[in-house]
Structure 1
Amino acid sequence: MLPPDFNLLHTLDVLLSEGSVTRAAIRLQLSPSAMSRQLARLREATGDQLLVRAGRGLVPTQRAIDMKDKVHALVEEAIMLLRPADRLELATLERTFTCRMSDGFAETFGPPLIERVQQEAPCVQLRFVRKLDKSSDGLRDGSVDLETGVVARTEGPEVRTQALFVDRYIGVVRGAHPLANGAVTLERFVAWNHVVAWRPGIDLGGIDETLRAAGRARSVMTTVDGFAAALALARGSDLIATVPEMHTAALRDGMFSFPLPLKANAFTISLLWHPRLDGDPAHRWLREHVLDVCQMK
């Protein structure tokens, strides 16, 4: 019995990642007919349809869902295995890095990072994915190359970390808000309604606990799942948004920002990656640029 054609692994990885024959063909620079032939070969090799029609689109079979992360990890491991250990030719480097970023990070630090990458490695692609929880499973299974966020106490030794910067919470209102005139005292801060970004895993800096200890409370009128949404609502209303200062620098243009009139816990934002990528020259190059652009702000 002949061994399977391992060249199909890369095609399978792209196909499962895109979930579309058309998009996979574009990414692989194949014609639609050639991509269809590749899909037929994959179906024969796996004994599964992989993608089946549902209405006007295609949906993955359960087998495809089960193998997606494992296939991606295998392809990434193969790429690193066959890459020269020390030589890094940035001008011809072709690679896609998936970066799972905490809310606001890509908007603030993404542009200078992209500019650097384009100048030095024009064939490298950056894929930014919003970080919605504390799980670092993507680093472990290879579907994510880099993450940013507050390091959880439960992080194991299989995840490497590098501190990027210390952030703090600030208050933000629309430019024409009454709070934009005069000092923002605690009395004025709690007199207005608030929008709070909250989801499991977000540390709000102990703001409400501090207010309760002082016998005060803020009126939370609206909750959203991210800081960008909180700022958008504050921009179009009289709500006060409380957001991280450095994370949201690119999202607060034209708005009035002020230090909180109470004590809130500062927090360190770190870069996280899997140790199997420690010695990868391209990954190390990208980590250094992330660190540099964060320290420039």
Structure 2
Amino acid sequence: MARPDLNLLTTLDVLLTEGSVARAARRLRLSPSAMSRALARLRDATGDPLLVRAGRGLVPTPRALELRDRVGQLVKDGEAVLRPTEMLDLKQLSRTFTLRTRDGFVENFGPALLTRIGKEAPGVRLCFVQKFDKDSTPLRDGSVDLDTGVTGEMTGPELRVQALFRDRFIGVVRPGHPLSRGKVTAARYARGKHINVSRRGLAEGPVDAALATAGLEREVTTIVSDFSAALALARSADLIATVPERHTGNLRTRLVSFPLPLAVPEIAVSLLWHPRLDADPAHRWLRMCVREVCTAQPAMRRGR
């Protein structure tokens, strides 16, 4: 069966609206003969006369009356699809966005982000889910709209990536810990008992490589999978947690923070999304909000 000519939908819509071949021809800027030929094609396609002679005019058949509203809506929907996206009305936007983040992001950036979104688009809801790995599948299958974190080998090559901020590692201890007083040297830092944060359960990381360069080695007594757990342990025991400064700002309340006496590389925290959402106006607005909130959020004071 031959595929129908969808261009005829517009012609049918005008014919059924005008009820006249001559008026429909003028509206579509066609000759009366061209419009008559189009009507003939429509009769063949639908298997119905559509418009029949009644005196000097034409009247619609029952089939034409049945089609009139449906065809009109189809034409409107088609025109909407082919038009450029209209200006986004944030006040009328009703949508749930899922953001995948590591621990500390919600606590540190969430309040400012929710405040801004609540003012600009009160119908928008954010769903934060924990990021346990760097697998890009949730972005590909649409279960996650936006991802934050450090890119790696598992980051899909097709993903869009935009830098948010750079973060440095700092040491954190409880008040009363020996490193809460005096100058923190590399030797003093290495002599303490440490917590290592590793989602894969590793006992070593960039800090150990920096210590080895200085001829030092630390004792890792505990391994945890996230920064929140590391800081909870450092809060109640004489252990040293080494965590990114900006990402854990609000998690370090009433703890003592100090710059590392080592040259540990900074990390670049980025925003990631799938290219199918690149041009979506609501998603672009959300990305702008996240980017500006993270850029405006100051680092915590470096003192104790």
> Quick check: 1:169–1:242 contact (8 Å CA) kept in 2?
yes
> Quick check: 1:133–1:200 contact (8 Å CA) kept in 2?
no
**Deviating more after overlay: 141-150 vs 153-162:** 153-162
What SS does structure 2 have at the residue aligned with 1:200? coil
Aligned to 2:200: 200
Q: CA deviation at 1:263?
A: 1.0
Q: Aligned partners of 1:83 and 1:117: how far apart in 2? A: 28
Aligned letter for 1:226? D
Aligned to 1:146: 146
Aligned to 2:234: 234
Q: Aligned partners of 1:209 and 1:125: how far apart in 2? A: 42
What SS does structure 2 have at the residue aligned with 1:247? helix
Q: Aligned partners of 1:83 and 1:184: how far apart in 2? A: 62
> Quick check: 1:193–1:221 contact (8 Å CA) kept in 2?
yes
Aligned to 2:93: 93
- Indicate whether 1:222 and 2:222 are aligned: yes
* TM-score (norm. length: structure 1): 0.69
Structure 1 residues 196, 95: CA separation in 2 closer, same or farther (over 3 Å shift)?
same
Structure 1 residues 239, 83: CA separation in 2 closer, same or farther (over 3 Å shift)?
farther
Equivalent pairs, count: 217
> Quick check: 1:179–1:188 contact (8 Å CA) kept in 2?
yes
Aligned to 1:185: 185
Structure 1 residues 202, 119: CA separation in 2 closer, same or farther (over 3 Å shift)?
farther
Aligned to 1:116: 116
Structure having the higher Rg:
2
Q: CA deviation at 1:147?
A: 0.3
> Quick check: 2:136–2:154 contact (8 Å CA) kept in 1?
no
> Quick check: 1:205–1:266 contact (8 Å CA) kept in 2?
no
Aligned letter for 1:239? L
Structure 1 residues 189, 122: CA separation in 2 closer, same or farther (over 3 Å shift)?
same
The within-5 A match list for 1:72-83 is none
Q: Aligned partners of 1:92 and 1:83: how far apart in 2? A: 20
Aligned letter for 1:250? N
Q: CA deviation at 1:155?
A: 3.1
Cα deviation per residue 1:21-67 (whole Å; 9 max; x = unaligned)? xxxxxxxxxxxxxxxxxxxxxxxxxxxxxxxxxxxxxxxxxxxxxxx
Aligned to 1:266: 266
What SS does structure 1 have at the residue aligned with 2:184? coil
What SS does structure 2 have at the residue aligned with 1:207? helix
> Quick check: 2:159–2:273 contact (8 Å CA) kept in 1?
yes
Q: Aligned partners of 1:107 and 1:248: how far apart in 2? A: 8
Aligned letter for 2:230? A
Structure 1 residues 123, 210: CA separation in 2 closer, same or farther (over 3 Å shift)?
same
Q: CA deviation at 1:116?
A: 0.4
> Quick check: 2:88–2:281 contact (8 Å CA) kept in 1?
yes
Aligned letter for 1:189? Y
* TM-score (norm. length: structure 2): 0.67
Cα deviation per residue 1:94-146 (whole Å; 9 max; x = unaligned)? 11100001221111111100000111111111011111101111000000000
Q: Aligned partners of 1:164 and 1:262: how far apart in 2? A: 24
Aligned letter for 1:214? A
Q: Aligned partners of 1:131 and 1:154: how far apart in 2? A: 13
Aligned to 1:21: none
Q: CA deviation at 1:85?
A: 2.5
Q: Aligned partners of 1:168 and 1:179: how far apart in 2? A: 19
> Quick check: 1:150–1:268 contact (8 Å CA) kept in 2?
yes
The within-5 A match list for 1:14-93 is 85-93=85-93
Q: CA deviation at 1:200?
A: 3.1
Q: Aligned partners of 1:277 and 1:204: how far apart in 2? A: 38
Aligned to 1:284: 284
Q: Percent identity of the aligned residues? A: 56
Q: CA deviation at 1:213?
A: 2.9
Aligned to 1:26: none
Q: CA RMSD in A?
A: 2.2
Structure 1 residues 160, 254: CA separation in 2 closer, same or farther (over 3 Å shift)?
same
> Quick check: 2:134–2:154 contact (8 Å CA) kept in 1?
no
What SS does structure 1 have at the residue aligned with 2:220? strand
Structure 1 residues 273, 171: CA separation in 2 closer, same or farther (over 3 Å shift)?
same
Q: Aligned partners of 1:135 and 1:111: how far apart in 2? A: 27
